[in-house]
Structure 1
């Protein structure tokens, strides 16, 4: 799922929880948001992806012998 799709999904869920309407009601509203609002939701989606993606394990530094 790309960031735009995830942003749209987050918007729909958020709006649905606030209004009490079904999530599908808000899917059409996405196209009427101004570009600034859409970009905010897309940026939120990117940040959530970063936070929810497990960090890659780092290799331990090789031990030095003196």
Structure 2
């Protein structure tokens, strides 16, 4: 059970790595960010992921 939780955590970190990198850059520049900034970064990454998955496939 612990192993599964660890694998899930690692998978989530890998999946959201670009957003985490963006947040790290923001935190380096600003030192603090609020929840709305975190949400914006995650939503931008999600949109980028969706656009990348539909590139080249006009049926999506």
TM-score range, shorter chain: 0.3 to 0.5
| More contact order relative to length (CA 8 Å, sep ≥ 6) | 1
TM-score scaled by length of structure 2: 0.47
Name the larger-Rg structure.
Answer: 1
TM-score scaled by length of structure 1: 0.44
